[in-house]
């Protein structure tokens, strides 16, 4: 067995194929020389993926990121990164290389990334495939906030429940911004849109890579939390609600603040997605009735 491991390590070290492993916090835990060279990572470095992407974007190297709003691109990408068991896509590097990248997820949140250089392959259909990838991204993203949309997040609920039926655990949280109609009526719909974006952006910083956070309509948002106990979910949501209490998103009204309420439901083996969502929504209703700006569990 030791000899096999040594041979595997030797192959990884000498291969031109890019290989990397990220942990559940999205920190790089292993990368072979080919991967480190392509993304400008020192041999002793173990950066978080968002930090690595931000650094390379700022320095104009690594992955080609076609945007002027890096934070918006990051939120959109993180909303999909690591949310399904396997994902494959094409990506360009600033140095002109063209990679076929795969991401394989483990239940514990660790991710294996493998990228092959396909620069020399026939490129007639390259723009078509890139357009296809952009269309897929758009179909999974909420246009206003940049996070996952209803279609994508509801599919992740189904994935979580499939795991629960195999012995895993999980929770679903439903959020609703308090008195949102009054915000629109008093400050206007443009201000309402700013509040929605602020809400999504502030909560997104707490979303773990194995979670999925999305907007499902209006001022309602959902957080899918596989592998999470109800108590851990409550503690996470409490931190989120505290962050929202201190937000002041309207520069024209510096004293304006807002709150939100949340309902949580732990998955049952017998749950369907509508069952789970209904219990979380009932808990949200209980949070509203008890005074808003709080979380309640089904």
Angle formed at CA 171 by CA 193 and CA 141, multiple of 5 degrees: 35
Phi then psi for residue 234, to 5 deg, are -60, -45
Phi then psi for residue 24, to 5 deg, are -65, -20
* Long-range Cβ contact pairs of 15-18 (< 8 A, separation 24 or more): 16/117, 17/114, 17/115, 17/116, 17/117, 18/99, 18/113, 18/114, 18/115, 18/116, 18/117
Map tokens 């916090």 to a residue: 25
CB 260 within 8 A of CB 294: no
State the catalytic residue, choosing from 90, 124, 219, 269. Answer: 219
CB 233 within 8 A of CB 182: no
| Cα–Cα distance for residue pair 124/18, rounded to 1 Å | 24
Residue 38 makes CB contacts below 8 A (sequence gap 6+) with 18, 62, 93, 97, 99, 115
End-to-end CA distance of the chain: 49
Q: How many residues does the chain have?
A: 298
The three-state secondary structure class of 218 is coil
Which conformational region is residue 60 in: left (phi greater than 0), alpha (psi within -120 to 50 degrees), or beta? left
Is 3 a known active-site residue?
no
Residues annotated as catalytic are: 219
């Amino acid at each position: 067995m030791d000899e096999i491991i040594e041979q595997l390590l030797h192959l990884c070290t000498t291969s031109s194929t890019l290989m990397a492993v990220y942990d559940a916090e999205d920190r790089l835990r292993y990368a072979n020389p080919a991967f480190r060279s392509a993304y400008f990572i020192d041999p002793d470095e173990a950066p978080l993926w968002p930090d690595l992407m931000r650094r390379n974007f700022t320095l104009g190297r690594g992955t080609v990121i076609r945007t002027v709003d890096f934070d918006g691109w990051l939120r959109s990408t993180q909303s999909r990164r690591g949310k399904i068991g396997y994902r494959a896509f094409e990506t360009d590097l600033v140095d002109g290389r063209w990679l076929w990248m795969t991401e394989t997820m483990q239940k514990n949140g660790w991710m294996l990334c493998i990228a092959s250089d396909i620069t020399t392959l026939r490129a007639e259909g390259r723009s078509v495939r890139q357009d296809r990838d952009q269309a897929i991204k758009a179909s999974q993203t909420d246009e206003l906030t940049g996070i996952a949309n209803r279609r994508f997040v509801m599919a992740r609920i189904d994935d979580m429940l499939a795991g629960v039926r195999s012995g895993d655990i999980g929770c679903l949280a439903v959020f609703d911004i308090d008195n949102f109609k009054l915000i629109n009526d008093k400050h206007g719909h443009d201000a309402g849109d700013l509040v929605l974006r602020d809400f999504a952006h502030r909560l997104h910083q707490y979303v773990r890579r194995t979670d999925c956070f999305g907007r499902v309509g209006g001022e309602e948002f959902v957080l899918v939390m596989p592998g999470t106990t109800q108590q851990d979910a409550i503690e996470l949501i409490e931190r989120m609600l505290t962050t929202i209490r201190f937000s002041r998103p309207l520069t024209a009204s510096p004293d304006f603040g807002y709150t939100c309420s949340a309902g949580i439901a732990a998955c049952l083996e017998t749950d369907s997605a509508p069952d789970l969502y209904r219990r979380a929504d009932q808990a949200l209703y209980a949070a509203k009735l008890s005074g808003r700006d709080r979380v309640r569990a089904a």
